[in-house]
Amino acid sequence: MNNGSKKLLIGGVIVVLLGGYALWASTRSTTPAPAGTTAATTADQTGGQTSVPSGTTNPNTIGQDGGVGDSSTPGDSTPSTQYKDGTYTGIVGSAAPYGQVQVKVTISGGKMTAISLLKKPEGPGETNEVTARAFPILIQEAISVQNESVHTVSGATQDSDGFRQSLSSALAQAQS
């Protein structure tokens, strides 16, 4: 092995080591846990994903059977808008390529009290399973935060986007 080959080999090893370190470092979360949670989580325990312990109010956490993760960070603020009582139908939101989403929102006492799905993605493969899992979470969180700023449900990005589009237009109609 000549001197040039040795340098190339050493350089390649250094690149691999630095890449491995960068990957390891990216799994180490430095973000503090949300207010109201007390249990510590580590990347080693969860395979690099942060989880929220049961008993908290995070609507994106479901039971032991493959919880719902989240990579978005919408504002978790107290609603400042008072809505007009009534029932409002949102536009048809896109969940392409899986279908469309349309919601109907019921406002009572100035607050969202119910959300029903008029249209939702349906189709072969996992589409129906993902839809059945995602929309109850999205609906629960939207009613909880009283706006369309809901987290994206892991594995249901298009459904979540279409839901937010439709809900946003319905709530715009309900603004007082």
- Predicted pLDDT at 3: 78
Q: How far is CA 99 from CA 27, 42, 122, in A?
A: 34, 37, 7
pLDDT, tens digit, for every residue of 83-125?
999 999 999 999 999 999 999 999 999 999 999 999 999 988 8
Q: Please tell me the total number of residues recorded for the chain in this structure.
A: 176
- Coil vs helix vs strand at 154: coil
What pTM does this model have?
Answer: 0.56
Of 112 and 65, which is predicted with more confidence? 112
Q: Do 152 and 70 touch, CB atoms closer than 8 A?
A: yes
pLDDT, tens digit, for every residue of 141-170?
999 999 999 999 999 999 999 999 999 999
- Residue 48 gets the label, from left (phi > 0), alpha (psi -120 to 50) or beta, of left
Q: How far apart are CA 109 and CA 93, in angstroms?
A: 27
